Amino acid sequence: MTARQTIHSDQAPKAIGPYSAAVRAGEFIFLSGQLGIDPDSGELVPGGIQEETRQALKNARAILEAAGSSLDRVVKTTVFLRDINDFASMNAAYAEFFTGDYPARSAFQVGALPRGAAVEIEMIALAG
């Protein structure tokens, strides 16, 4: 049986429901969807899709680092958008965090996201 370990970071927002920020199972880390929530205020960052995308990725990076991994070890992301018309703006901010060997990615428009967020990003990464 593969060991299972929950991951949390003081540098990322606490879960807003009955789930873990991430779970390590074997050599993979599965990150729950991250919103653009400021970990200090607990509120969505102002500024729209690009700022929310940047903050969601900062939160994800903090969780990965707490697990001993990094954004460079991400193999798959899934991006949920409130409005698919925000794709290009999200993509511009996303490109600030991933360069070179990009992870696989899917992106979808969804009916709604928690807290009225514009974007939510989940990931699968290799453990450190």
- Indicate whether 1 pLDDT > 60: no
- Whole-number pLDDT of residue 39: 96
Backbone angles phi, psi at 33, to 5 degrees: -60, 135
Range 113-118 average pLDDT = 96
Domains of the chain: 4-126 (3.30.1330.40)
Q: How confident is the model at residue 98 (pLDDT cuts 50, 70, 90)?
A: very high
The tens digit of pLDDT for each residue in 12-37 reads 998 878 999 999 999 999 999 999 99
Q: How confident is the model at residue 64 (pLDDT cuts 50, 70, 90)?
A: very high
Tokens of 48: 């729209």
Point out which residues pair with 44 in neighbouring strands.
37
Record the pTM.
0.95
- Whole-number pLDDT of residue 99: 85
